[in-house]
Structure 1
Amino acid sequence: MGADIVINYEEQHVGDLPDKVDVVLDTIGGDVLARSYEVLKPEGRLVTITGQPDLELARGKGITAYRVRMETNTEQLAAIADLVSIGSVKVVVIAYDSDQPGVLIRTPGLHTSEYLPLEPPALPAPDHNAQRMDLLRPLVKRPLHSLDPLVKI
């Protein structure tokens, strides 16, 4: 998925866009969500993960609004963890550059919601993914699921 226009909500007002857009993906809510209706073209799409869209306002402007909710399903997570443990699912660990291995990397200027990537120390093959996950366990304050690309602290 690509984006032609990205707005830093702390520095730019969503209503300041020069042209109307086809889709708004709102991850902030509140005033940003409320102003998003004004920048959409007719038949545009508004998708939010933070608030409840105003469906009457959307209908009146000829746009479609969606709310996407993420929910934790412990049964599904356990089943996925089982598949990972028996090797049916390949875990891909992406390392991020930092001065010191195994430290939290903070991304300035980005809204992270307490999710921060970790860079585990480099380990030799063949079973380096499982070894990296074992090394990460002491660094987090909650159980670490093998498929977490980002770790919540």
Structure 2
Amino acid sequence: MKAMIIEKYGKFPLKLADMPVPTIGENDVLAEIVAASINPIDFKIRDGKVQMLKKYNMPLILGNDFSGVVKQVGKGVTKFKVGDQIYGRAAKDRIGTFAEYIAIDENAIAMKPKNLSFEEAASIPLVGLTSYQAFHDVLKLSSGQKVLIHAGAGGIGTFAIQLAKTMGAYVATTASKAGYELVRSLGADQIIDYKNEPFEKILHDYDGVLDTIGGKTLEKSFEIVKPGGQVISISGLPNARFGKEYGAGFLKTNLFRMVTLKISKLEKQHNVKYTYLFMKPSGEQLNIISELIELGKIKPVIDRIFPFEEAQNALEYLETGRAKGKVILKIRN
């Protein structure tokens, strides 16, 4: 099969290569991929920035979520059959959606929403599961609560705004002037121009923050959350609670100790809980998301669709930070 691979970590161009079609296990399906989503995690993996969490063998096929058609099922598969149209997010140790086929556990996939194209469906799994797990599992967001979503016009932001509104929350978001119309159309109640307005001086008494940026933005987010609230980040470094759960070796690094100390100090200073979210694949949660999409409560937001052969251009485009919504790779016509 054709696949886009890297042969070593670093900012090297993706290489189109012939790779073996993956073999399936007892609980796997073999999916023919129609479209894949491009996400920041893809260039972070390429650059070796997630090695504290996961080390990969080379050559490595990039890509984390997809839509496609079931071509083969393992002996233990009970939820899907050949011909089913599916979408999903691969487990971190089984990534590889920039390819014509992928073997994936049946519990990591769901039936594609009936009202979406394959390209639209491919835009959903990673951002949808991240948003759902942040708001439902961690924050336990309820009607009337206030949440700040950073980078509202980005891939996760465009989904997270819609999900938070379906849960009855008041939503503030940061965006550039160019993204105002989009985030307002998705339901944002308050928009902060991140280039000219300091959100930490404008917002206060929020129940939670979903941070997709990290750094100083993450640190300033603690200032707007009321005591007992939460800051959730997908871009900061993991904290001690994450390390204990996953048993990661980065707990012993000096960098981890330095960052953890700073985050722990902010937690105590503001009486706010910090959670680093490393999203987990879940077909069950994708079924819930599918229902919201089919009811018209959430819609996909796609910026551009690139042909498979232009995967490198697609990755570079996402890295510019100018994309409004998702960037999609069309694997098959």
TM-score range, shorter chain: 0.3 to 0.5
Give the TM-score, by structure 1 length.
0.47
From the two aligned structures, give the one with the greater helix fraction: 2
From the two aligned structures, give the one with the greater strand fraction: 2
